[in-house]
Each structure stands twice: as structure tokens, then as C-alpha cells.
Homo-oligomer: A and B are copies of this chain.
Amino acid sequence: MTDVIEREIKVKLDVDPQKFIDRLVKEGYEYLGREVQEDIYLNGEAKDFKKTDEALRIRTVGDKIELTYKGPRMGSESKSREEITVVLDSRESMVKILEKLGYRPVYKIKKIRYTFKKENFTICVDNVEGLGNFLEVEGIDVEERELIDFFNKIKILFNLKEEVITKSYLELMVNALDHSNSN
């Protein structure tokens, strides 16, 4: 149960993710574990989230199921959005109810996420099916400046050259599918 502002910065990892994970541990980042996240994104029949820049997601991690609404982007350099989450007991029933309300599943995204913690930030190394490896740094209810400063320290420490990606995994997936369809 949360109703927070989530800020995140993401880059593509062109280095071997395992090496990157080992480095994080070595540098004293606290390792919180590995999990497989299966996300279903829904879209409205009457309301197109692509246009309104909102998102509705059901995430399954093992036995845990969460419904999350994400509001439109608010930040500039970081990706900051209102986020409202409820924990559920059934993915199937939630999908059925949402379909009755005019929202239907449109994309699935599956990733393996390795999570680390340092100070007020969560550092995720994500292997996203069909998209590759990414580093995501997230802060809940932090100032945008704090997140950017923290992220810049990581960039220097790990000598990351990649540009910041402001798109969500959903948008990257939509782009990738659009691209493969047009070929």
C-alpha cells in the first residue's frame, strides 16, 4: 500500500551485468536479492494511457500481486510520477474486473531484477526479456536534485558512459515491437 512520488533514472548497461553486480557488492552496496517480476500493462478502451502518459500495471513476484497506477511524468532529468499501489490476492480476478471497467491487458514485460540499497536509494540491475540489461536508480519521496547527484556519483565510480533513458520499459517495449512490426 503506497501513495508516493517515485523518481528514477535509467541507463542501458553495455557491460556484463554479473560483473557490474559484483562491483556493486565490492563497493559496499547492500544486496537485497533477486526476483522475477512479471508485469501486465493495461490500457483503457476510452482512455489511451499512451496519450495521457499514465500507466496501469499488475506486477506478480512469486506469490505477491500488486496493482499500480502511475501518473504522468512530472520531473525533467529523472522520471518522477505519482504512484498508487494496492496488494491483491488474485491477478486473474483483477484483470477480469478491470476488463469490465474498460481496461484490458496490452503488454507483458518479464524481467529478472537484482536489487541493492545505498543511503535512501534503490539500485536495480534489470535483465528485461527482449530488451537487454539496465541499471535503474530509484528514490521514493526524495528531491530530484538528490537523485541526480547520487546517480552521477555511480556514473563516475563505475565509469558509465551510456546516456540516461527517460523512457519506461513499457515504452521501450512498445518501440521495439513497433520497430519489429515495421520491418
Contact = CB atoms under 8 A, between A and B. Distances in A.
A156 interface: no
A124 to B, nearest CB: 23
| Interface of chain A: mostly helix, strand, loop or mixed | mixed
A90 interface: yes
Interface stretch (A93-101, A111-119, A170-178): A93-101
Given A93-B2, A93-B3, A100 B88 contact: no
A44 B101 contact: yes
A71 B97 CA distance: 10
A143 to B, nearest CB: 24
Given A84-B96, A97-B67, A97-B84, A1 B102 contact: no
Interface of A: 1-3, 44, 46-47, 54, 56, 67, 69, 71, 84-90, 92-94, 96-98, 100-103
